[in-house]
Chains A and B, each alone.
Chain A
């Protein structure tokens, strides 16, 4: 265990060194400071080249439509943590998306909104959002700029009307300052949310350090990695550990009380019943509980669920069956590998926390 802990610490150090060497600018968390990974409104070209070299795809987000700006990021951060954007004044985005847990919600299987109303789904982790084009478990939202409208207005989440949000923003002196010369409008607010959320870039895990040849996996981690690639990688593809735009069924039976049909609720297609977005497994160690309805509490439970299962792959992954077979020792190895996806620098980044 101490070897494991030490090697994770070394991985963290190696990650910090990596970013220094590549010349990336660390986000200072101040309204006028540079933004990690970004320059001139979009991804820093050098940073992007580095990512592409590591197998990352190009971002899906079109930065020309919403150029990154430290002031907008700061505004988005303020909005993200503001409970006054909920009808009972008690719920903020950050209430269900905690930076310490990769912006997931770890307290209950499903998140609670205003007046303690309980939703039907587990708040997903938020990271590397510029590389995604479909949001929510069912992919209902197709653009990051518009994603925040859903929780802001949903009756079991923040339960606000667009008009009341705008009225509040226009009447609040703090927001008058925070918007600066920009028009206080819903589009500006939505773009600010998107900008703050796009700074949630996680690529400093021990896994990343291993790929950069800065650390070497333990034997157990290495075995787990190989098992992962063989059994899980088809849906949770590296380096994002998800498959943007893919919706799949993992064979979970529908909760008879929640009656959640997943993607079919949006598409109306019977073949989409019980398909859910394939989530990223980065930082999965801390994003418990698991699955779209938070029914599983531990990684061990999740891996055990998959360890003797035949999955039907969606057409987007070639269709057919995918058989997973893991014995008890292999399951432990896979969990050990999954823990290498934890990015402590990301989880503890003060720039993501509630502004003081």
Chain B
């Protein structure tokens, strides 16, 4: 599924992207997303402790981050992209929103290039991101790029994107359960999209880390004993809100 490019091709695309950014009076910062259990990085396919009585093995983890509707037209645009995750959906194209698909099995997808208008004087830049896909985009028809249903993040039997797809297993007090959490929803009581906390950066910064600590989320999963959630629901909404609230940004 991932796009493989040679190093020279990467370099060329990066250069083109940079030229495009400079020409438009834009600056960029790379947001590196990482998933942790506390301070320990999550490693796919390995059992890791999240609590004294709880261990987890994550085999697949993919999720969406997008620009919130408030950012539409704020001059934050796509980079020209060196990877399919930096993409624009057709429906997003209408409003200028963008979406990124993160995939823990593909480290290059975890580097999100975030563009902002170059400041003319001193000041800070606010990074605003939405966990999930904005409702207007979800209702706007078929998407392309990161929103192509072929990427496996679209519920084919109903409208909507899976915004968090986590599969693996969890052991609670020595008992193993399959873990299958396809979370999302954009309508009414099942609206699962959630804003990440805004983060201010200095324009001199080139990169930021977005840390997705899933310990609290897993604690909630264990507390509710809901290890399989496959469709929009209040539980999926609650899980997504906890995930979003646990994201922190660091230099």
Chain B binds chain A: yes
CB distance from A154 to the nearest CB of B (A): 7
A263 to chain B, nearest CB (A): 11
Cβ–Cβ contact A187 & B157, under 8 A:
no
Report how far A187 CA is from B141 CA in the complex, Å: 9
Q: How far is the CA of A65 from the CA of B147 in the complex (A)?
A: 15
| A267-B234 Cα distance, complex, nearest whole Å | 10
Interface size class of A (residues with CB under 8 A): 20 to 34
Bound CA span A269–B185, Å: 14
A145 to B233 alpha-carbon distance, docked (Å): 24
B159 touches A65 (CB 8 A): no
Nearest B residue to A149 via CB reads B156
Task: Please name the residue on chain A nearest to B90 by beta carbon.
Answer: A65
A residues whose Cβ falls under 8 Å from a Cβ of B: 62, 64-66, 140-146, 149-150, 152-154, 162-163, 166, 185-187, 190-191, 266-269
Taking a contact as CB atoms under 8 Å apart, the answer to whether B157 and A153 are in contact is yes
A187→B159 contact, CB < 8 A: no
Q: Is the CB of A187 within 8 A of B144?
A: yes
B residues 192-241 near A (Cβ < 8 Å) are 232-234
**When the two chains form their complex, are residues A191 and B233 in contact, meaning their CB atoms are under 8 A apart?**
no
CA distance A66 to B90 in the complex (A): 9
Bound CA span A14–B111, Å? 64
Tell me if B142 and A145 are in contact (CB < 8 A): yes
The residue in chain A whose Cβ has the minimal distance to the Cβ of B186 is: A142
- CB nearest to B91 among chain A residues: A65
CA distance A62 to B143 in the complex (A): 14
- Nearest A residue to B150, CB-CB: A186
Contact of A143 with B190 at beta-carbon distance under 8 Å, contacts A187-B148, A266-B158 already known: no
Decide: A143 and B159 in contact? CB cutoff 8 A: yes
Query: Which residue of A62, A141, A268 contacts B159 across the interface (Cβ within 8 Å)?
Result: A141
A65/B140 contact (C-beta < 8 A), A162-B149, A163-B150 known: yes
- Across the A-B interface, give the 3 residue pairs with the lowest CB-CB distance, nearest first: A140-B158, A142-B159, A145-B141
The A-contacting residues of B in range 159-187, CB under 8 angstroms, are 159
Given contacts A140-B159, A187-B149, 9 further A-B contacts (CB under 8 A): A65-B91, A141-B159, A146-B154, A153-B157, A154-B157, A162-B152, A187-B144, A266-B158, A268-B189
Bound-state Cα–Cα, A149 to B159, Å: 10
Which of A140, A143, A163 is in CB contact (< 8 Å) with B157?
Answer: A140
B residues adjacent to A (C-beta < 8 A): 90-91, 94, 138-144, 148-150, 152, 154, 156-159, 188-190, 232-234
Query: Which residues on the B side are within 8 Å of A163 (C-beta)?
Result: 150
Nearest-Cβ distance from residue B226 to partner chain A, whole angstroms = 14
Whether the Cβ atoms of B149 and A190 lie closer than 8 Å is yes
**What separation, in Å, do the CA atoms of A65 and B139 have in the docked complex?**
12
A150 touches B141 (CB 8 A): no
Closest to B141 in A: A145
- Would A146 and B233 count as touching, CB distance under 8 A? no
Residues of B within 8 A of A268 (CB): 189-190, 232-234
| Complex Cα gap A200–B139 (Å) | 22
Chain B neighbourhood of A152, CB < 8 A: 156
Q: Are A143 and B141 within 8 A (Cβ)?
A: yes
Interface contact A66-B141, CB-CB below 8 Å:
yes
| CB-defined A-B contacts under 8 Å, sample of 16 | A62-B140, A65-B90, A145-B141, A146-B141, A150-B156, A150-B158, A162-B149, A166-B150, A185-B150, A186-B142, A187-B142, A190-B149, A191-B142, A267-B188, A268-B232, A268-B234
Q: A141-B158, A162-B149, A190-B149 are contacts. A146–B190 as well, Cβ < 8 Å?
A: no
Contacts of B154 in A (CB 8 A): 146, 149
Q: With A140-B158, A153-B157, A162-B156 in contact, is A146–B149 under 8 Å at CB?
A: yes
CA A162 to CA B94, docked complex, whole Å:
25
Q: For residue A162, which residue of chain B has the nearest CB?
A: B150
Give CA–CA (A142, B233) in the complex, Å.
17
Give chain B residues whose Cβ lies under 8 Å from the Cβ of A153. 156-157
Alpha-carbon separation in the docked complex, A187 to B147 (Å): 9
In angstroms, Cα B141 to Cα A144, docked, is 7
Task: Tell which of B140, B149, B159, B234 touches A186, judged by Cβ atoms closer than 8 Å.
Answer: B149
Query: Which residue of chain A is the closest to B188 with respect to CB atoms?
Result: A267
Cα distance A166–B158 in the bound complex, in angstroms: 20
Which residues on the A side are within 8 Å of B143 (C-beta)?
Answer: 187
